[in-house]
Chains A and B, each alone.
Chain A
Amino acid sequence: MSSRLGIPIDNVSIVHGDTDKVQMGMGTYGSRSGAVGMAAISKALDKIEAKAKKVAAHVLEASEGDIEFKDGKFTVKGTDKAADFGSIALQAYIAHKFNGQELEPGLKESAFWDPTNFTFPAGVHICELEIDPATGVVTIDRWTAVDDFGNVINPLIVEGQVHGGIAQGVGQALLEGAVYDAEGQLITASYMDYTMPRAQDLPSYNVGMTVTACPSNPLGIKGCGEAGAIASPPAVINAITNALGHENITMPATSEKVWRAVQSSAHKQAAE
């Protein structure tokens, strides 16, 4: 919004998570918030720009077809006449420079967007780990991930989501699990028993991106929220089965399970 309208980011207020303000939404599933919601915002901005050009035509005393909008400025083709977005927005509301009966005052738009297709983010996550054969403890040494999320709006947030997703997936692969006893009592009812992944369970990640614009939405963006969590469990388990030389392991691959799996590992037998 800021770069599209050429206004400072501080002038943009984000209102979300409020059903009193947002008419309709179906949820954040499928990593669709960016790809669908941002596309709707972009469509609404198209309408804002079109309306603002009509206002600018009156303010700059030119025909609408000669108005150009770039870098937050409305200009008249072939002249040095110009007005910035803020002054046009103000004129849109006070309606002094045009007839309010012919052009409806105000600069407020909304848009709905139904994507033409899903988005298809793709990536590769490489997990390198070591198993202590004496105890079954798995130590993740290195993590390298490259994802393609199309055009990235906020790289810091995207990278953070990948980091968090990997942590969640490592937890699923190695540590987490809700366990009930025979009477149906939840045994893992506190963090003294339920193993959440902690910083010490995770390596320092090496995360990269490639950018292939997505064709099914105007911003060319793809979902990124679930990439880390989806890629990491198979990466961890594949690394473990690769180390073991067999596939008899289930998640969570706790140290005891891995230790038992090591007993039947051809690699172990070969080493002995």
Chain B
Amino acid sequence: MYAFTHHAATSVADAVSSVGEGKFLAGGHTLIPTMKQRLAMPGHLVDLNKVAELKGISDNGSVLTVKAMSRHAEVADSDVVTKAIPGLAALAGGIGDPQVRHRGTIGGSIANNDPVADYPAGCLALGATIVTNKRRVAADDFFQGLFTTALEDGELITAVEFPHADKFAYVKFRNPASLYALVGVAVARRGSDVRVAVTGAGSDGVFRWKEAEAALAGNFSAGALDGLKVSAAGLNGDIHGSAEYRAHLIGVMAKRAVAAA
């Protein structure tokens, strides 16, 4: 590791005013390995771990609010989340392994927008709102491609708001080596409004599968997806799965998510 300065922020205001050209440090499970490999070399880190304002999970009966520094394990084990949107607790409980779940945070995960991460699919399908120190951004506008988000330099995610859904489930096919999502599909339904979000497969990151949404809007059942095909164009292919295989898996995972929702 190279030399850098570290500031343990005590509040959102302190974090934002002290970050400068540096980076926020949440769980560090993405940032620290990247720094070790010199893929990123921030000279200054603002540590969010002591910021009480960024912790906590609450629900007002129609919207679930998960503060940015909530660990994946906290979301997975939260009674509030399990009551409001059980499929979101299951999504968080399926991220990585126990070590990752006890360090990694929702804020870090979505700020990073890894194309194979799980939360982006959950946020997009549920139509979440990403709350920052400056503004509120709809998930549809927030995720902008590989490792790219609407966040400006020095902008801090403070919370993610998830409006309740009638049904929600996330099902993934794991990359056998990394155990990240090779393909993950999240499905949410509110009345006749259905949203389907796909992670892992898109060469431009998480995306919505509009044809499936239309098919499910009239008939929310796995059978409604029969015969719907995803084009392999624009999908990732690697040693663990060609674009064609991923395209096929999107259909299979979507059906399973609908059945599980």
Contact surface of A with B, Cβ cutoff 8 Å: 134-135, 175, 179, 187-188, 191-196, 201, 254-256, 259
Contacts and interface: CB of A to CB of B under 8 A. Distances in A.
B114 to A, nearest CB: 12
A256 B242 contact: yes
Contacts of A255: 176, 241
A195 B252 contact: no
Given A179-B239, A187-B239, A135 B177 contact: no
B5 interface: no
Contacts, number: 34
B177 A194 contact: yes
B91 to A, nearest CB: 19
Interface string B134-155: 0000000000000000000000
Contacts of A187: 239
B182 to A, nearest CB: 9
B245 A259 contact: yes
Contacts of A256: 240-242, 245
Given A179-B239, A256-B242, A259-B248, A191 B173 contact: no
Interface in B224-261: 239-242, 245, 248-249, 252
Given A135-B252, A188-B239, A195 B177 contact: yes
B252 A134 contact: yes
Nearest to B249: A135
Nearest to B256: A134
A192 B173 contact: no
B99 to A, nearest CB: 14
A254 B173 CA distance: 13
Nearest to A257: B245
Contacts of B177: 175, 188, 191-196
A46 to B, nearest CB: 52
Given A188-B177, A255-B241, 20 more contacts: A134-B252, A135-B173, A135-B249, A135-B252, A175-B177, A191-B177, A191-B178, A192-B177, A192-B178, A193-B178, A193-B239, A193-B240, A195-B176, A195-B177, A196-B177, A254-B176, A256-B241, A256-B245, A259-B245, A259-B248
A251 to B, nearest CB: 14
Contacts of A175: 176-177
* Closest A-B pairs by Cβ, 4 of them: A195-B177, A192-B178, A256-B245, A195-B176
B181 to A, nearest CB: 13
A188 B176 CA distance: 12
A236 to B, nearest CB: 15
A123 to B, nearest CB: 28
B177 to A, nearest CB: 4
A259 B244 CA distance: 11
A194 B238 CA distance: 12
A196 B178 CA distance: 10
Q: Which of A175, A188, A256 is most buried by chain B, counting CB atoms within 10 A of its CB?
A: A256
